[in-house]
Amino acid sequence: MIKLVALAIAACLQAQPSPEQSALVQLLSLRRIYVDRLSGGETAVQIRDMILSSLHSARLFTITENPERADAYLRGAAEDLVFTDTYSSSESLSARGSVGGGSGASRDSTSRRNYASVGVGQSESSRIAERRHEASAAVRLVNKDGDVVWATTQESMGGKFRGASADVADKITRQLISDYERARKLRQPQAPSTPQ
């Protein structure tokens, strides 16, 4: 009897999706997305255009420039910072030595003096300055009711063949595709398990 009650409670808990799962499943009902202006300065405009291009290439949704026709809005903030990484190092080696000598002198005698000195020194320093980019974006998909359906934060220092901004846009799209696929799996009816 206790085993049947435990199975019934477990079945009820599995039947009720979590808030995250409910939001993810809403992704499947979206058809048109409007990518809103991103806050974060001048570079946010460029990152927005890269996100638009990346989302359009994914062909997951229709990307619209008309916000009134959209099912959801992609909003958030983005920035591409330019900075200089500076590395400096310094090494030094030095040795000194000195020897002296002397003798006394009288009125008619000569004096004798001996001196020696040795010095060795080496110094090496280097300084490397490298200009770098770091892009980041925090975006969210908001439905017409104002509910956040999906959100992600992505950062990049750039890839081997891609700049930091383009890499962030691509990461956002890949995350959205991945979460969309998760939503499709959540929606698929699962085969009922047979109690043993």
Residue 7 falls within a domain, yes or no? no
CB atoms within 10 A of CB 160: 5
Between CA 18 and CA 76 the distance in angstroms is 24
Quote the CA–CA distance of 180 and 162 in Å, as a whole number: 25
Q: Are residues 111 and 178 in the same domain?
A: no
- Looking at the fold, whether 96 and 183 belong to one and the same domain comes out as no
Q: What is the pLDDT of residues 48-65, one digit of tens each?
A: 999 999 999 999 999 999
Q: Are residues 140 and 72 both part of a single domain?
A: yes
Instruction: Look at residue 194 and tell me if it is in a domain.
Output: no
Is residue 103 in a domain?
yes
* Mean pLDDT of the region 2-25: 62
Whether 77 and 137 map to the same domain: the answer is yes
Please report whether residue 31 resides in a domain. yes
**Assigned token pair, 166:** 């383009």
Instruction: List the structure tokens of 46.
Output: 């460029």
What CATH number corresponds to the domain at position 148?
A: 3.40.50.10610
pLDDT of residue 37: 95
Give the rounded distance of the alpha carbon of 138 from its chain centre. Answer: 11
For residues 35-50, give the mean pLDDT: 93
Do 58 and 99 belong to one domain? no
CB 124 within 8 A of CB 114: no
**Residues of the chain above pLDDT 70, percent:** 79
The answer as to whether 195 is a domain residue is no
Number of structural domains (the chain) is 2
Clarify whether residues 119 and 37 are in a common domain. no
My answer on whether 173 and 93 are in the same domain is no
Highest mean pLDDT: which range of 44-58, 73-87, 156-170: 44-58
State the average pLDDT over residues 11-40. Answer: 78
Q: With a threshold of 0.75, does the pTM exceed it?
A: no
80-94 residue pLDDT tens:
987 777 777 878 777
Same domain, 62 and 143: yes
| Same domain flag for 22 and 64 | yes
As a whole number, mean pLDDT of residues 155-160 equals 84
State whether 72 and 136 are in the same domain.
yes
**Do residue 113 and residue 141 come from a single domain?**
no
Q: Are residues 63 and 147 in the same domain?
A: yes
Domain hosting 167: range is 18-83+131-187
User: Per-residue pLDDT tens for 112-150?
Assistant: 777 777 777 778 888 787 777 799 999 999 999 999 999
Does residue 161 sit within a domain?
yes
Q: Is residue 155 part of a domain?
A: yes
Residue 165 maps to a domain: yes
* Average of per-residue pLDDT across 6-13: 56
Asked whether the beta carbons of 111 and 102 are under 8 A apart, the reply is yes
Looking at residue 73, what is its pLDDT?
97
